Amino acid sequence: MKTIAVIGSGSWGVALSIHLASIGHNVKIWSFDDEEARLINEEKKCKFLPMAVIPNNIVCKNDFKEVIEGADFILHVTPSKFTRATVKQYKEFVDCEKQPIIVCSKGIEKDTALTLDEVIKQEIPKARVGALSGPSHAEEVSIAVPTVLVSASKDEEVRKLVQDTFMNEKMRVYTSEDIKGVELGGALKNIIAFCAGVATELGYGDNTFAALITRGLTEIRRLGTKLGAESNTLYGLSGLGDLIVTCLSEHSRNRRAGRLIGQGKSIEETKKEVGMTIESIDNIEVAKHLSEKLNVSMPIVDAVYDILYNNLEPEEAVRMLMTREKKMED
Positions marked active-site = 189
Contacts of 303 by beta carbon, 8 Å cutoff, 6+ apart: 195, 312, 317, 318, 320, 321
Going by C-alpha positions, the residue among 21, 29, 32 that lies closest to residue 60 is 29
- 133 and 219 in contact (C-beta within 8 Å)? no
Residues facing residue 58 across a β-bridge = 27
Quote the CA–CA distance of 49 and 213 in Å, as a whole number: 27
Helices 83-90 + 116-123 axis angle, to 10: 30
CA R_g for the chain: 19
Q: Is 137 helix (H, G, I), strand (E, B) or coil?
A: coil
Rounded CA-CA distance 189/211 in Å is: 14
Rounded to the nearest 5 degrees, what angle is found at the Cα of 80, between the Cα atoms of 76 and 86?
55
Q: Could you please report the per-residue DSSP string of 160-223?
A: HHHHHHH-BTTEEEEEES-HHHHHHHHHHHHHHHHHHHHHHHTT--HHHHHHHHHHHHHHHHHH
